[in-house]
């Protein structure tokens, strides 16, 4: 059984394999041209990575395919079972500018990213959909801790006991740091509502200017349907038994409001009451979870 236990690193539960190499992760020196995509797991990481990769390659999907990694971009802290190389190994083999993905909370991001003034994009997703997506991911990803029954999973999420810690602290701490650290903060729900607007926002943040034709192509290539069919983004290159897609596909539904299909009204009411307490002074413009 591959499922790795969680151990606390500076108070944040991380998989033990990651905790073991945490000092090397902290010492990682990025290039100033590297771009960091930071998220709580299942908030829209792969979607944001895909958009960035296409932006850097002028909307040319074939050029993206020549990138050296089997999946979209190196995952800074991951130490998967062989033969999949670790994030740090992949980074060494990849030339800047690299799109680097992390789920680390802001206080655990290697200081080099701030010192080199790298561009950092944080994508946030509403808590209940994020939880449901994480639940199905924990069922299918055989390296994640067992999710257990859904009701207990809701409580683990609320208590910050899942890998990468508390969703509430994660989003609040990145939000609080965004101005000082020049982080672009985007929302999954905004990307669903108007993907073109959000692609343009990311493009402006990167000080790029691409033609309407290229932007339209990027929007099309990064639709849920196209990404689900694209082996560079649907994780079909990740060998079994890490991802067991017979349990749940990586590109699962890609919808806003799917939580309604999984939470009972009682669970939703209990979750919302706790959410209100934890988030009421955050100032983060999440949409209401209707
Ligand atoms: P669901 O499980 O709700 O379907 P991450 O990349 O952070 O792991 O997030 C994965 C979630 O983002 C999954 O959510 C996945 O389906 C969704 N997703 C990925 N690409 C998407 C896209 N182009 N449009 C909408 N949702 C997308």
Query: Tens digits of per-residue pLDDT, 25-84?
Result: 999 999 999 999 999 999 999 999 999 999 999 999 888 776 655 556 889 998 877 777
* 160 membership: H or E segment, kind and range: none
Complex-level ipTM: 0.99
Nearest-CA residue for ligand 1 atom 26 is 254
Average pLDDT over residues 136-160: 96
What's the pLDDT tens digit per position in 155-214?
999 999 999 999 999 999 999 999 999 999 999 999 999 999 999 999 999 999 999 999
- Check residues 61 and 267 and name the one with the higher pLDDT: 267
Q: Which protein residues are within 6 Å of ligand 1, measured from CB? A: 39, 41-47, 129, 133, 136, 222-224, 227, 251-254, 258
C-alpha distance from residue 124 to each of 72, 99, 127, 170 (Å): 19, 18, 9, 9
Average pLDDT over residues 14-33: 96
Q: Are 123 and 195 in contact (CB under 8 A)?
A: no
Residues making up the chain, counted from first to last: 290
What one-character DSSP code corresponds to residue 185? E
Average pLDDT over residues 225-243: 82
Nearest to 167 by CA among 48, 277, 274, 40: 40
| pLDDT band with cut points at 50, 70 and 90 for residue 239 | low
HSE of 177 in the Cβ direction (CA atoms, 13 Å)? Answer: 18
Residues 6+ apart with CB under 8 A from 240: none
Nearest-CA residue for ligand 1 atom 10 is 42
Structure tokens given for 258: 């799917």
Cα of 222 from ligand 1 centre, angstroms: 11
Confidence at residue 235, expressed as pLDDT on a 0 to 100 scale? 82
The Cα 174–Cα 256 span in angstroms is 22
The Cα 113–Cα 105 span in angstroms is 13
Nearest to 283 by CA among 170, 187, 130, 175: 175
Q: Which residues are catalytic?
A: 103
Confidence at residue 116, expressed as pLDDT on a 0 to 100 scale? 98
- Check residues 202 and 234 and name the one with the higher pLDDT: 202
The Cα 92–Cα 50 span in angstroms is 21
Cα of 11 from ligand 1 centre, angstroms: 28
Confidence at residue 41, expressed as pLDDT on a 0 to 100 scale? 98
Confidence at residue 57, expressed as pLDDT on a 0 to 100 scale? 93
> Best of 37, 42, 191 to mutate for ligand 1, by most ligand atoms within 8 A of CB?
42
Confidence at residue 231, expressed as pLDDT on a 0 to 100 scale? 83
Cα of 79 from ligand 1 centre, angstroms: 22
What is the CA 80 to chain-centroid distance, rounded? Answer: 17
């Amino acid at each position: 059984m591959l499922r790795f236990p969680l151990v606390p690193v500076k108070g944040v539960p991380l998989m033990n394999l990651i905790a073991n190499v945490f000092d090397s992760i902290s010492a990682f020196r990025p290039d100033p041209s590297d771009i960091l995509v930071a998220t709580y797991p299942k908030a829209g990481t792969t979607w944001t990575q895909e958009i960035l990769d296409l932006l850097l390659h002028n909307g040319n999907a074939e050029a993206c395919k020549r990138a050296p990694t089997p999946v979209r971009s190196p995952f800074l802290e991951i130490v998967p079972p062989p033969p999949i190389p670790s994030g740090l190994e992949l980074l060494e083999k990849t030339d800047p500018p690299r799109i680097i993905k992390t789920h680390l909370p802001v206080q655990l991001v290697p200081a080099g990213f701030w010192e080199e003034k790298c561009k950092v994009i944080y994508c946030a997703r509403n808590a209940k959909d994020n939880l449901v997506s994480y639940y199905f991911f924990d069922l299918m990803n055989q390296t994640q801790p067992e999710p257990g029954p859904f009701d207990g999973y809701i409580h683990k999420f609320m208590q910050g006991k899942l890998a990468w810690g508390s969703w509430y602290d994660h989003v609040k701490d990145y939000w609080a740091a965004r101005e000082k650290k020049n982080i672009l903060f985007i929302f999954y729900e905004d990307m669903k509502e108007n993907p073109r607007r959000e692609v343009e926002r990311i493009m402006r943040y990167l000080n790029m200017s691409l033609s309407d034709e290229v932007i339209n192509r990027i929007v099309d290539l990064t639709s849920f349907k196209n990404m689900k069919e694209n082996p560079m983004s649907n994780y079909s290159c990740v060998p079994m038994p890490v991802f067991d897609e017979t349990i749940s596909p990586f590109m699962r539904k890609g919808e806003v409001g799917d939580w309604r299909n999984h939470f009972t009204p009682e669970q939703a009411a209990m979750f919302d009451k706790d959410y209100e307490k934890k988030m009421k002074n955050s100032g983060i413009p999440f949409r209401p979870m209707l």
